[in-house]
């Protein structure tokens, strides 16, 4: 068991099997030392856990948990891209966090912190990243959030 797997265990996080694409795309693309993970939803065991718009259907605090769950799913795909060894991650480069938002909801960065805080907790300084937190009208399957990830792997 690698250092990152031990950290995940200490945090009480068990990575699920990576979600399989539901349309015409792949879960991740690796080019050179860069891995880009396709957008991940807040699902568990194949079931969407957080659905609807913030703040009407989902509270901002619950949306932050949704972002964390989607980020856990992104880590599962990243682990697959690393042939099962997350210690190969040199840096989390960027997160894109999309939040299904009401027209007058402006706290997308606070929601996105659910994903960002997880990366810092798991990877330490290597988990600090650039980020976009974007409010959107709708998301696939009515998901509350969608998280995409870009990572650099060690050579």
Position 22 pLDDT exceeds 90: no
Which pLDDT tens digit goes with each residue over 5-19?
Answer: 999 999 999 999 999
Average pLDDT, the chain: 97
Residue 49 burial by CB count (10 A; 0-12/13-18/19+): exposed, middle or buried?
middle
Which residues lie below 8 Å from residue 75, measured CB to CB, with a gap of 6+? Answer: 8, 15, 86, 118, 122, 149
All domains of the chain in start order, with CATH: 3-15+27-153 (3.30.1330.40)
Which pLDDT tens digit goes with each residue over 52-92?
Answer: 999 999 999 999 999 999 999 999 999 999 999 999 999 99
Half-sphere exposure of 5 (CA within 13 A, CB side): 10
Nearest CA-CA partner of 76 in 111, 45, 117, 114: 45
């Amino acid at each position: 068991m690698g250092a990152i797997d031990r950290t995940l265990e200490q945090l009480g996080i068990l990575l699920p099997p990576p979600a399989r694409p539901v349309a015409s795309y792949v879960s991740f693309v690796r080019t050179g030392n860069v891995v880009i993970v396709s957008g991940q939803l807040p699902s568990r065991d194949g079931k969407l856990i957080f659905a609807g718009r913030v703040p009407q259907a989902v509270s901002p605090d619950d949306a932050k948990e949704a972002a964390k769950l989607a980020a856990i799913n992104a880590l599962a795909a990243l682990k697959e891209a690393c042939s099962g060894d997350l210690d190969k991650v040199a840096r989390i480069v960027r997160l894109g966090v999309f939040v299904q938002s009401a027209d007058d909801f402006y706290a997308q960065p606070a929601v996105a912190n659910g994903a960002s805080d997880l990366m810092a907790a798991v990877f330490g300084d290597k988990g600090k990243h650039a980020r976009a937190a974007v409010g959107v009208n709708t998301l696939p399957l009515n998901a509350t959030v969608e998280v995409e990830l870009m990572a650099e792997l060690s050579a």
